[in-house]
Structure 1
Amino acid sequence: MAGRWMDLGMFNAHGVPGADALGAAIENMVTGIASTVDTDRGLAARLRYLTKTDAGYEAMDRAGIHVSPRTLMAWLAEERTPNRANRSRLDAAYWDLRRRNVATDLKHRLNNEGRGTRVEINPVDQSGVERRHQRDVASRSISVRGVWDRAVDAWLEEDLAELDSVWDQIIEDIGSEYDAYSNVSSIGWAA
């Protein structure tokens, strides 16, 4: 794990581990139904999405939705409404399936036919750190290639150790000051 800043907040610096920022940035690329599961429209859209394919039924199973076919049909026909716990599980199943369905597209977009993606890395916020304790680091913009399949797979599996390994590989390209970017305030890209 990169990051010899073991006591990041000791001098009032604020940031997150790069792996966390990487996972959050990938997560922000996933879009879906805007209506909440508590609205009729949001619930109906999630049910339609989940019942279109076998993968949707598998996602519902992973989320712990175990109802009879008759109950499921009543939900689809809007004759009955799932209880709060099942609505929450339906929402979790929807986002799980959505993430799995867009993973391939994310890899394609981020790899950009081998050209990679330009990533803006913003270092930790040192505005609250006394000047004598501040590190002299600035935002960096680097082209990242060859790691996106691993990054998306790690994000999908919620494998923070692998995301951390990918982040280490990304910041090694920065050069000798790479360790200053093991924790960041944010990262972003346009893909």
Structure 2
Amino acid sequence: MAGRWKDFGHYGAQGAPGAEALGIAIEHMVTGIASPVDTDRGLAARLNYLTKTDAGYEAMDRAGIHVSPRTLMAWLAEERTPNRANRSRLDAAYWDLRRRNVATDLKHRLNNNGRGTRVEINPVDQTGVDRKHQRDLSTRSVNVRGVWDRAVDAWMNDDLAELDAIWDDIIEDLGSDYDAYSHVSSIGWAA
């Protein structure tokens, strides 16, 4: 990781490591059912999504949902409602499956047929920093190519070390100022 912010936050700057911001930005691209799992609509939609494919059953297994087929059928028929713990597990299984299902699409969209994606990097928030300690930082924009497959895979595996290495590759294109963007307030793109 780039490291000019050796004692980040000492003077009041606020932000997150770039690797975390990268993971958050990818996560924000995953959309799904808006209704909460504890509503009838949200629960039914999650159960429907999870029981359509073998991958859905695998996601439920990974989330720790181990119920009999009879119980699952009663949930689907809305004859019984899962307890709070199982609703939470169903929600986790749903989002796990959504992430897995959209990963290929994310790679395709972010790679943009080899053209990459223009990323806007917003510097740390220095509003709480005394003027004499502030750095002259501005929002930067860089076209990112060649790292998106790795980035999505690292995000899928919750591999923060790999996301950190990828972030270093991204900010390296900022020239001599790159180290000032090892922490950021946010990043974003339109893909």
- Give your verdict on TM over 0.5: yes
| Kept in 2: contact 1:14–1:126 (CA 8 A) | yes
Corresponding residue number in structure 2 for 1:51: 51
Distance 1:121 1:57 in 2: 39
The amino acid that maps onto 1:13 is A
Distance 1:164 1:173 in 2: 15
Corresponding residue number in structure 2 for 1:83: 83
**What count of residue pairs does the alignment treat as equivalent?**
191
Q: Deviations over 1:102-159 (max 9, x none)?
A: 0000000000000000000001011111122111111101100000000000001100
- Return structure 1 stretches of 4+ with deviation > 2 angstroms: none
Distance 1:163 1:187 in 2: 14
After superposition, residues 2-151 of structure 1 pair within 5 angstroms as: 2-151=2-151
The amino acid that maps onto 2:82 is P
Distance 2:127 2:75 in 1: 52
- Normalising by structure 1, we get a TM-score of 0.99
- Percent identical among aligned pairs is 84
The amino acid that maps onto 1:29 is M
Q: What SS is found at the alignment partner of 1:108?
A: helix
Distance 2:15 2:33 in 1: 30
Matched, 1:168 2:168: yes
Unaligned runs of 5+ in 1: none
| Kept in 2: contact 1:3–1:183 (CA 8 A) | no
- Normalising by structure 2, we get a TM-score of 0.99
| Kept in 2: contact 1:11–1:130 (CA 8 A) | yes
Q: What do you get for the CA RMSD once the two structures are aligned?
A: 0.6
Distance 2:56 2:3 in 1: 39
Q: What SS is found at the alignment partner of 2:184?
A: strand
